[in-house]
Structure 1
Amino acid sequence: MQFTGILLLFLLLPLFVVPWFSQFLQQRRFDTVEPLENHVVISGHTPLVHTFITEIESHAHQHPYVIIETDQDRAVELRDLGHTVLHGDPESESDLRKASVEKAQAAVVAGDDQLTLNAALAIRDVAPMVPITATLEDATLRQYLHSAGVEYVVQPRQVIGQALATHYAMSEGMQSDRIVILGHGTVGSTVRSALETWGADPTVVDIDEGEHVDVVGDATITKTLQEAGVKNADAVIISLPKDRQALYATLLARELSSTVDIFVRVTESEAVGRVKRAGADYVLELSEISGQMVAAAVLDEPVSGTDSDILFTRLSDPDVELSALDIDRIIGVSRNEELHLAPDHDFELQQNDLLIYVRE
């Protein structure tokens, strides 16, 4: 019996006790972080946040940060990569205090709109004076974020839509109305609105019927693209919900026409190279643009991506900084919680406006 008991003890230790004790210590390790000051508190780790962190780490001035991550395995992975991580809930006031949010220089909230609103309210309760930058997908909720205390509201989908339209106008000179837009969501509708403002009459394709939709059908089916006139089009602008749809639509459009210019919006960085190999001439990545916009809102330094020609800068002296800038290159101006796309010549720029424009 003594031998059996000792044997069972040695069997149980590695199988049950050691893993449990290791997990317990690991959990305690990620439930707290060292006190910080003048840092950035980040809600969760997304592709957008990855781009944002890359931007702030690449600048000359140090910008310490802490990521509040709800998933423990993800928190472990991020800590192993060298990030400062707190395993917790960004909507929890106690976890926000553990992240020293009341001593932070800024807070960044990125995720679905409900999470963004709840986390912003929690941060405002704990740290009334800390500026909050948040992303937003549904533009109708902007006033609620403003009421929740968000200082800078980033709307990347509208910016990407305007950027695609601006890039087309700069490259093609608006010489033809033979433009096909695949997808009429936030990005696609922004592209259409911009092109119509400049006098074009694009053909819009979407899976659902709706105002401004000319062809109802699946944009990943050749018959739909033929009906929309892709074969004879001068440009095709693709903004579909999933990257694999954008990839397939690009392949079909290039097969129908070897000369058409194809502009594409994708969500993930992995899709950029694939879509270009499929035949796209110009690709914008949602997470990259989103992260750069957030970085420009938080930092007092110009931000520009390595793979795109879109630049973001916060104006300190508009008269001096805009003296050599062509108004037609301006995609939009973000002023606190408002986004002004394609401002006209009468639009008066102000100090601290976030200017979004196309590189020469």
Structure 2
Amino acid sequence: MVGLGIVVLFYTLVYNWGMHALENRPQSIFRSFQTVIETMTTTGFGADSPWTTPTMNILLVTIQLTGVVIGFVALRVLVIPLFEQTPLNLASRLTSKTAHVVIAEYQRDTDILLDELEEFDIDYVLIESDEEEAKRLSDDGYQAINGDPEDRADLDRATIERASLLITDAGDKTASIVLTALEANKDLRVISFTGSTRHKAALAEIGVDRSVAPHALIGRRLAEKATTPVTVGEQSERDEIDIREILVRRNSPLHGVRVRDSPIANHPNLTLVAGWFDGELRLPPSPDDELTPNTVLTVAGPENEIGEMTTEIGGVRPRRIATPSRVVVAGVGEGGTAAVDALPADVSVTTVDESEGRNPDVVGDVTEPETLREAGINDASALIVTVDDDSTALMAIAVARSLSSGVEILARVTDGEKTRAAFRAGADYVLSIQRVSARLVASEVHGERIMDPVSQIRLVRADAAPFVGQTVAEARRDTERGWTVIGVSRNGTVHTDERTDITADDDVFVAGSDEAIQEFERTVADS
């Protein structure tokens, strides 16, 4: 402000002198002051224009340019900061809601969860304690407010009294948030993400309906994938759909064979659901795709027929390691501990962790070749990577693959975007905490019948109405949509034969990527 005053005073004095000495039109200093202000603010020159001498015209142009520059500086230095410092009431952007979902903090990738909810047109309000993050989400169009979910007033801003579901992911604050929310709405259903399975009993005691420990859930799944294929289906079904990954080894006779010429693609009762080619998911694979070393084919169908097919194909083996086997577990946190507990008793397990306090078998950096060699990576059948940092996980995968081409590497990553990078680093099977968590929320909120939320692909059970009158082959015909019909469930029996006619009383099993299944449920299942 002082600098601006000095500039205006200087121009006023020079202009007043010029009008007297150069233009021969003497005037008062106040008239000159008015003209300088008009010129600097580009609002006009009043009765003083025009000027006859070049010097005065140059002076006026200089005053104009100075005013423009000062205007930009003032906008950036003064005006914008004032607006930024003004408190923003994000709650004013919320739409009216009833029977909605209140999310009290979310420590994972919030965008993935909120996109999941918006795809299904589910009303929600996210309470985010980080002001900048809340503003970013709100500016991006999400229903988010800044606040402390432990504070009843902030819960009221999210209209907690009219909500139907509370989702918490707030660590040690969870108990306080749940108790405060239930005081406002005793009929509230509560789902809590927790870092440890040890908290489940305590959370149930205070009113949490379901507790989910994603790290432990994924750790157990990786252990299962390291030892046995996964069967997907309801316990009441006698003939379950089996989803199994078949890894094309480097010495496989199928190396270089196109998908259309493979025995799996031509089997009448098996469905080639997906393929991972160099870390890229193709669902379903193109008939012209070539099977390359370490391609992972996801196949669905009756368990006995998948087993027979796997036996027939030399050099291709299912994800089942022979016993007795040796498994190395890198990272002994919640996920690693769950993986160790889930491994069969006849499997030899070696744990590796940098922290001596976790009592691993080998203390050391899992990204160092010497550490993995000490853990027996060269003799191991499988390596399970459950370290907390994605960068560390990717490096551990790459180092392990460089040391052993035969070990099967199963990894957990936090960021869903790192899944493809993990495959490129050499992993055979990768699960993302963000994706799994979002699927679990969709299952609870949307009522989506997810058959296997902890998987590389998303498999759901849906009503067969949109496909009535078609055969399974006709329902699979469109390969551009990103999802495919695996089979139908009828009277407790699963049928995957492509000639099977789909009736109104059937359920269909549909598999695809997360985005493709969201599209299916929005445009097909709900139509």
Contact 1:293 1:312 in 2 (8 A): no
With over 3 angstroms needed to count, the CA separation of the structure-2 counterparts of 1:22 and 1:262, relative to structure 1, is same
Identify unmatched segments of 5+ residues in structure 2.
10-32, 41-69, 230-317, 462-488, 495-527
Match of 1:90 among 131, 149, 154: 149
- Measure, in 2, the Cα distance between the counterparts of 1:103 and 1:128: 11
Mapping for residues 176-325 of structure 1, pairs under 5 Å: 176=323, 177-197=325-345, 199-209=346-356, 213-303=360-450, 308-309=456-457, 323=492
Displacement after TM superposition at 1:115 (Å): 2.2
Percent of pairs identical after alignment? 29
Displacement after TM superposition at 1:81 (Å): 1.6
- Measure, in 2, the Cα distance between the counterparts of 1:321 and 1:187: 37
Give per-residue Cα distances to partners, 1:97-153, cap 9 Å, x unaligned: 111111012111113x21222222221122221111110112222233223321111
Alignment partner, residue 174 of structure 2: 116
- Measure, in 2, the Cα distance between the counterparts of 1:98 and 1:188: 40
Displacement after TM superposition at 1:187 (Å): 1.1
Alignment partner, residue 481 of structure 2: none
Mapping for residues 150-161 of structure 1, pairs under 5 Å: 150-161=208-219
- Measure, in 1, the Cα distance between the counterparts of 2:439 and 2:331: 24
- Measure, in 2, the Cα distance between the counterparts of 1:222 and 1:283: 21
Aligned residues: 316
Which range moved further: 202-211 or 249-258?
A: 202-211
With over 3 angstroms needed to count, the CA separation of the structure-2 counterparts of 1:15 and 1:191, relative to structure 1, is closer
Alignment partner, residue 197 of structure 2: 139
With over 3 angstroms needed to count, the CA separation of the structure-2 counterparts of 1:91 and 1:211, relative to structure 1, is closer
Contact 1:68 1:90 in 2 (8 A): yes
Alignment partner, residue 79 of structure 2: 18
- Measure, in 2, the Cα distance between the counterparts of 1:306 and 1:130: 26
Extract structure 1 runs of 4+ deviating beyond 6 A. 10-13, 304-307
Match of 2:101 among 14, 37, 40: 40
Displacement after TM superposition at 1:211 (Å): 8.1
Contact 1:33 1:98 in 2 (8 A): no
With over 3 angstroms needed to count, the CA separation of the structure-2 counterparts of 1:26 and 1:306, relative to structure 1, is farther
Q: Larger C-alpha radius of gyration, 1 or 2?
A: 2
Match of 1:231, as an amino acid? N
Identify unmatched segments of 5+ residues in structure 1.
314-319, 326-360
Match of 2:158 among 99, 102, 115: 99
Give the CA RMSD over aligned residues: 3.3
Q: Secondary structure at the match of 2:351?
A: strand
- Measure, in 1, the Cα distance between the counterparts of 2:198 and 2:380: 34
With over 3 angstroms needed to count, the CA separation of the structure-2 counterparts of 1:166 and 1:271, relative to structure 1, is same
Contact 2:222 2:339 in 1 (8 A): yes
Q: Secondary structure at the match of 2:113?
A: helix
The alignment's TM-score, normalised by the length of structure 2, stands at 0.54
- Measure, in 2, the Cα distance between the counterparts of 1:321 and 1:155: 34
Displacement after TM superposition at 1:29 (Å): 4.5
Match of 1:162 among 189, 200, 220: 220
Match of 1:27, as an amino acid? L
Q: Secondary structure at the match of 2:344?
A: helix
With over 3 angstroms needed to count, the CA separation of the structure-2 counterparts of 1:144 and 1:31, relative to structure 1, is farther
The alignment's TM-score, normalised by the length of structure 1, stands at 0.77
- Measure, in 1, the Cα distance between the counterparts of 2:490 and 2:106: 34
Report whether the alignment pairs 1:71 with 2:219.
Answer: no
With over 3 angstroms needed to count, the CA separation of the structure-2 counterparts of 1:211 and 1:27, relative to structure 1, is closer
With over 3 angstroms needed to count, the CA separation of the structure-2 counterparts of 1:21 and 1:215, relative to structure 1, is closer
Contact 1:48 1:291 in 2 (8 A): no
